[in-house]
Structure 1
Amino acid sequence: MNFANPSGLWWLAAVPLVVLLYWLRPQRRDVVVSSLLLWRRSLGERSPRALLRRLQRDVLLWLQVLTACVGALALARPLRPLPPGAQDLVVVLDAGIRMQAQDISPSRFEAARRAALDLVATGEFGRVAVVVAARHPRVLQPLTASRSAAVGALRAASPTDGPSDLEAALRLAASLSPLGRSAQVHVFSDRPVQGAHSHVFGGRLDDVSVVGVVASPFGQGRQRVAVRVRNDSPRPRRLEVSVQVDGQPAARLPLWLPPGGEGTARAVVRAGQLVEATVPSQDLLPTNDRFLAAGASAPRPSVLLVGPGDPFLEHGLRVLAGRVDRQEVPQPQTWSGSEVVVAHRVALGSLPPGSYLLVRASALDLPLRVRGTVSAPEVVRQAQTHPLLRFVDLSSVHVRRAWDLEVRGGEVLVEAAAPLVWAYEDEGVRVVLVAFDLRDSDFGLRPAFPIFLANALDWLAGPAVRTVEAGTALSVPSGAQRVARLVGPGGAVTLQAQGGRFLLPAFDRTGVYRLESGPLRRWWAVHPGPAEVRGPAGAGVGALRGVDETAEWTPLLLGCLAALLGAEWWLFTRRRGPAGGAR
C-alpha cells in the first residue's frame, strides 16, 4: 500500500503511550477492613498475569488503541488503485505566445489541441476537465462526464499573445479533484512539466522580436522614441525597424543585433497618441514582430473644479488634465459630464456616483465628522504602499491648521493628530479628501504636490491610456456610468458596472482596446508578452504522477474515526453512571 503522507505513520507511536498511561493509572490506597472475603479477587489482580488479563478484558482501552491507529492512518492518507475508467482527466492546454510558432504545421497550439482532442476521445476516464494556461489560467470546462462538453471547450480555446503561467495552471488543475480522488493531469505545451504527463510540441525557437517601445516628449509637437529588439538566435541579424505614429509612417531605423543579444534604435518623430514599431518577419513566430505603445500625446481625463479657485490647484490641473471646467456654485446634476470633480473649500450635499478630489471640502453622505481644527499637525504615519502616495513624501510638509476629522471607514493615508489625507471607496463613489487648505501649508510649493495630483487623477479616473502586456486584466472606476462598451481586435463587448467599477476581460490579443461610456474614454495599447526560452515547469506544485492512478482512503478512515470516538464516549459515560460515579 502507498501513502500520500507517509510521515503521518509516526503517530502510531501514540499506541504504546495509551497503554502506558493505562498501566500507570492511580494505585489503590491501603484501607483497614473487617474481612478479606470480598477483596481476594481484587488482590489477585495485582499480579502481572492478572493485569494482563485485565488489559485483555478492557474494551475502552482497545477502543482508544484502535482510535489512535485509525487516526494515524488517516494522517498518512493511504492510497488505493482505481479501476480502469474510474479516473478523472484534467487537460492543461498551453495558450502562451510561444505556442503560435509555426515550426509544426499549422502551429504548435493547433497540434497540441489535436492531441488533446484525441486523448479525450479515446482515453478511458470517468470525467474530464479543461484548463487553459495563459497569463491568468482559467477553467474552460469543470469536471464533467460529458465528452462532448470537453471537446467543445477544447475547440473553443484559442492562443493568446501573452505569456503562460504553467505552474499556476497545474495548481488550478490539482484543485479540481474532490477530496479522496485525484486525477490524471496531462499538459500540452512546448516545454516539459514536472509532476504531470507532459506532451511536448516544438523545440528550440530562433526568434527576433520587438520587446519594448518608450515614447517621451521632445519639444513642441515632437517625441523621442526608443525601440528595443531582441535576437534569440545563434547568428547575428541586420534588419530595419519601422516606426509608425497614429498609423502613419514616421521613421525607418537600421539595427544590427549580435547572437543572443539586444539592440536599441532611437529616433525623434512627430508627437502622437499611438506608437507602433515592427521588424520584418524573419522567423516562425511573427506575432512578436510588432509592438504597440502609448505615445507622448496621450489623452487625459476631463476635470470639473467646483468652488473658489486656488492658483496651485488650478495650474496643476490644467497641466495634468485634458479639460478643466469651472463651477463656483455646486450643481451636482451637471457633474456626470466630467470624469473627476475637484471640490475646493465648498460644502456639498449628497454625492452622486462619481470620482471626487475634496480639498478642505466635505459631503453629507461621507462616513466622517469634522470635530473642529488642529494647529500645526505633524505627520506620524504614511501609507507609502498606496498608489496615491507613490513617489510622494509628506513627512516634512508644514501645515498651519487642518480639520480635526473623525472617520468611520475608508483608509487614512497620511495621519497626524488627525487624518490629513483620506481615501474612501463605496459602490459608485471614489473620494480622496485633503483635510487642509493649500493656503494653510507649503504643500503646493513642493515637488511632491504635482506628483500627488497626478496620482490622485489616475486613482480616481484610471489612466486615460496605458501600455500593457497581453493577458492583462484590468478594472476601471465607473463613476456615474452603469454601462460601457469595450472595443478590441476581437470585436465589441458590453460591460455592466459592478461595485463601482468596470471589470474588463483579459486583453489576450495584441492591438488597441477602447472603452467608452458617457464622458469616460479610455484606451490601451497591448503588446505581446515575452517569448524567451524557459526551463521545465512544475517545481513546487507537488508530484501528481505518483498519485494520479489512485484514490485516497482518507474519507472512509475519517468516518471510522468519528464512529470510534462516539463509541468511546458512549462507553465511558455508561461506566461513570448517571450520577457521575464509577459503576
Structure 2
Amino acid sequence: MQFLIGNPLGWWALAALGGVLVIHLLQQQAKRVEISTLFLLDNVAPNPMEGRAFERLRQSIPLWLQIIGVLLITWQLLAPSWVRPESVQRVVVVLDSSLSMAAFRHRMPAKVMPVLQRLAQAAGHTEWVVLSSDTTQSVLYNGGALDGVRQILTGWHPTKGAHGMQPALHLAQRLRGPEGLLIAISDHHLKLPAGAHLLAIGEPIDNVGFSGVHTTIDKNAATWKVLVKNYGTIPQTRTWQLHINGRPTAPQTLDLQPGQATVLQGLFPGDRKAQLQLVLSDDAFSIDNRLPLVVPLKKRLHIRLTTDAPMPEFFQRFFARHDDLVQRDPDLVVGILSRQANRQALANGIYFASKTPSETQPSGAVRGALATSHPLTDGLHWYDLWVRTPRPLAAAPGAQVLVWLQSDPLIWLSRTQQGQQLICNFALDDSNAWQLPAFVVLLHRFTERIRATVPDLRQANLETHQKLDLATGPGANTVEVTTHPVRDGAAQQKSVPLYQAALLRAPAEPAFIVVTQGDRTLARDAVHFADAREADFTRAASLDTVSTHTPALAQRHSRRDLLVPLWLLLLSATLLASWFYTERTP
C-alpha cells in the first residue's frame, strides 16, 4: 500500500528534538539554603561554586517521553495517508507536434518522467493515454505501464508546422472523463481549457536559420536568393557553405545582429540535374540550418495551333518561353470552334468563335463585360474589353461562365472526358482582348491549370508538408517516392497506390525527393524548412502546473490515518507523564 505525506512542511516539527536535547544538557541550578555546617567541614579551602553550563546527557524517563511527544506531533502534522489499492485514475497527455519541440526533444524524458512518476503514485492504478496534437495521427499509447509512456517520449519526433492544439485538447477532454487529468506538453505557454494543466519544457534559444528561398529564371541563367535570419536577442556569428552535388565550397563567415535578416544569392550551375545545399553551422535547432535546392524546371507543354487559329503570331510569342509548338499529340490546342463541332470530342484547348465577312465593320463594338467569381478571373478587370462579334456560340449545360457581356456568356470553362476547354465567344482579331492584361493573365492561368494535369517531369523547391500536386498518367498503378534526407540518414522509398498520389505531401524535414511512375519521372524536388514561427524561440519557456495539483489528486485516491484519535490520546498521556516525572525529580 502506497504511503503519502499530505503536508511535507510537517517535517520541520522534528526541529523540536534539538530543543528537548538542549534543555536536558543544561546544568540544573541548585537551590541556596543557608545553614551552619562549620562543624561538619574540614579546614580546607572552599571549592568554587561555578562549573560548566552544560553537563553530560543522561538518560531519563522525561527525556524519552518528550522525544516520543515530538515524534507524535510530527506524525500528526505530516497528515499521512495511504493510497487505496482499488483506486483508478486516467491521465491523458497531449504532446505538442510543432517542429520547435525538436530543439527540446532530448530533454523531454528527464523533464517529464519525474512529474508522471509522482502522478503514478497518487492512485492504485493509472491508465495512460498519449496523444499527438496532430489529429491526423492515431493514439500514440494507451495502457497502464509508465515504461510505455517513457518509450513514447524517448522516440518522439515532432514533425508538424505551427498549428493550434485546440482540436487535440478537445478530444483529450472527452477521453479523460470527469475525474481524469489532462496534461499538455509544449515548449511555451498555452491557453488551455478548464481543468487542463501545462508542462512546458522550453527555454529561449538564440537561433539562426534559413527562412525562405526565391528562384528566378531568365534567358541567360537561373539564380537563387536565400534569406538568413537571427531570431535571437544577441549578436550571432555563423559560417555557411554551398554544396554542389556534394562538393562543398570554402566556408564563409556571417555576422547578424539581433533580429537581423540578410540575403545570400548565387547562380545555379548549368547542369539542370544539379543538387545544391546551403549549410549553416549547427545550433540547438538544426532543422533550419540546411536548405536544399534544385534548378527550377517547369513542365513543357506541347501546343498545337490549328490552321485556322486566330492571330498565330500572338500565341507563338505567348508560348515561346516555356512550351513547344507541335503538330501531333498536343497537350493543348488553340483553334476556332464552330457551331456544328462535336464538343464532347474536344481535348484540352483554347477556342474562339469564327469571324464572318459581315462582321468586319468597325461599328457595333460592345463594351461592359463583367466577370464572375472564379480562380481564373479573380482580381481581373474587363471594363476596357470590347468585341464586335455577335457571339454565335452557346454555352453547353454545366459550363462555368467566367465573363458575361450584357446577357450573353462571353468566356466560359467547359469540361469533357478528354479535358478542359476555355471557350471565347468572340473572334480574337475582331476585339482588343489580346491587348488587355486581364485576358493575357486569364490565358496564363488556364495554361498553368492544364500544365498541372500533364504527367511530365518537373523540378521545384517546396516547403516542408507542402502538397506535391502530382499528375499521373496511364501505365503503372503505383508511384514510387524516394526521399534523400539532407542530414544523416539513408534514402527512404515507399510505394503509393495511384489513387492516393494526389494526397502526397513533402516530407517534414529538408530532403531531396524523386517521384516516379513506372519508367516515367514525375518530379525531382528539393524540400526546405521555412516556418519562421517555429524557428523563433523568444517565447519558449518552462512551466509546471501539474506538480501543484498532484497532492490534491493524491488525497482524492487515498484514505487518512484512522488512528488519529489514538495518537492524540498517546500524546496527551506522554505530556502528562513527562510533567509528572519532572516534578518528582529532586
For the superposition of Structure 1 and Structure 2, which TM-score range results when normalised by the shorter chain?
0.5 to 0.7
Mapped contact 1:212–1:228 kept (Cα < 8 A): yes
Match of 1:473 in 2: 467
What do the CA deviations read for 1:182-214 (whole angstroms, capped 9, x no partner)? 664322222232213222223111211111222
| 2:182 partner letter | V
Partner of 2:537, secondary structure, is coil
Match of 2:479 in 1: 484
Is residue 405 from structure 1 mapped to residue 399 from structure 2 by the alignment?
Answer: no
What do the CA deviations read for 1:423-474 (whole angstroms, capped 9, x no partner)? 4568895554444443333333344455333322322333944433212235
**CA distance in structure 2 between the aligned counterparts of 1:398 and 1:480, rounded to whole angstroms:** 43
Partner of 2:395, secondary structure, is strand
Structure 2 length as normaliser, TM-score? Answer: 0.58
Partner of 2:185, secondary structure, is strand
Partner of 2:188, secondary structure, is coil
**CA distance in structure 2 between the aligned counterparts of 1:447 and 1:251, rounded to whole angstroms:** 46
The alignment-based identity, stated in percent, is 18
**CA distance in structure 1 between the aligned counterparts of 2:211 and 2:321, rounded to whole angstroms:** 31
Matches within 5 A, 1:358-377: 358-360=350-352
**CA distance in structure 2 between the aligned counterparts of 1:400 and 1:266, rounded to whole angstroms:** 50
1:527 deviation in Å?
1.0
Partner of 1:525, secondary structure, is strand
| 2:384 partner letter | S
**CA distance in structure 2 between the aligned counterparts of 1:241 and 1:203, rounded to whole angstroms:** 26
Partner of 1:444, secondary structure, is helix
**CA distance in structure 2 between the aligned counterparts of 1:238 and 1:378, rounded to whole angstroms:** 62
**CA distance in structure 1 between the aligned counterparts of 2:432 and 2:495, rounded to whole angstroms:** 46
| 1:212 partner letter | G
Among 424, 430, 451, the residue aligned to 1:440:
430
Is residue 414 from structure 1 mapped to residue 403 from structure 2 by the alignment?
Answer: yes
Match of 1:357 in 2: 349
Unaligned runs of 5+ in 2: 1-85, 355-363, 485-490, 542-548, 554-586
What do the CA deviations read for 1:19-49 (whole angstroms, capped 9, x no partner)? xxxxxxxxxxxxxxxxxxxxxxxxxxxxxxx
Match of 1:533 in 2: 537
What do the CA deviations read for 1:199-232 (whole angstroms, capped 9, x no partner)? 2223111211111222223652x23432221113
Change (3 A) 1:159 1:143: closer
| 2:335 partner letter | H
Mapped contact 2:353–2:392 kept (Cα < 8 A): no
**CA distance in structure 2 between the aligned counterparts of 1:259 and 1:449, rounded to whole angstroms:** 46
| 1:458 partner letter | E
**CA distance in structure 1 between the aligned counterparts of 2:118 and 2:398, rounded to whole angstroms:** 54
Partner of 1:256, secondary structure, is strand
1:257 deviation in Å?
1.1
Q: CA RMSD in A?
A: 4.6
Partner of 2:205, secondary structure, is coil
Match of 1:208 in 2: 208
Judging by fraction of residues, say which structure has more strand: 1
**CA distance in structure 2 between the aligned counterparts of 1:238 and 1:179, rounded to whole angstroms:** 48
Match of 1:344 in 2: 335
Aligned residues: 419
**CA distance in structure 2 between the aligned counterparts of 1:421 and 1:228, rounded to whole angstroms:** 42
**CA distance in structure 2 between the aligned counterparts of 1:113 and 1:407, rounded to whole angstroms:** 64
Structure 1 length as normaliser, TM-score? Answer: 0.58
Is residue 139 from structure 1 mapped to residue 114 from structure 2 by the alignment?
Answer: no
Partner of 2:434, secondary structure, is helix
What do the CA deviations read for 1:464-493 (whole angstroms, capped 9, x no partner)? 444332122354454667643333236333
Match of 1:285 in 2: 285
**CA distance in structure 2 between the aligned counterparts of 1:344 and 1:160, rounded to whole angstroms:** 52
| 1:225 partner letter | W
Mapped contact 2:94–2:172 kept (Cα < 8 A): no
Among 308, 311, 314, the residue aligned to 1:312:
314
Is residue 174 from structure 1 mapped to residue 163 from structure 2 by the alignment?
Answer: no
Match of 1:9 in 2: none
| 1:174 partner letter | H
**CA distance in structure 1 between the aligned counterparts of 2:427 and 2:284, rounded to whole angstroms:** 61
| 1:357 partner letter | G
**CA distance in structure 2 between the aligned counterparts of 1:110 and 1:420, rounded to whole angstroms:** 65
**CA distance in structure 1 between the aligned counterparts of 2:245 and 2:353, rounded to whole angstroms:** 41
Change (3 A) 1:278 1:475: closer
Change (3 A) 1:206 1:97: same
Decide which structure has the larger Cα Rg and report it. Answer: 2
1:392 deviation in Å?
4.3
**CA distance in structure 1 between the aligned counterparts of 2:256 and 2:228, rounded to whole angstroms:** 8
What do the CA deviations read for 1:352-380 (whole angstroms, capped 9, x no partner)? 9xx82332389xxxxxxxxxxxx856454
Change (3 A) 1:251 1:430: farther
Is residue 98 from structure 1 mapped to residue 96 from structure 2 by the alignment?
Answer: no
What do the CA deviations read for 1:114-160 (whole angstroms, capped 9, x no partner)? 78997999885668362244xxx423229967989x96994897535
**CA distance in structure 2 between the aligned counterparts of 1:324 and 1:239, rounded to whole angstroms:** 49
**CA distance in structure 2 between the aligned counterparts of 1:248 and 1:434, rounded to whole angstroms:** 53
Change (3 A) 1:341 1:422: same
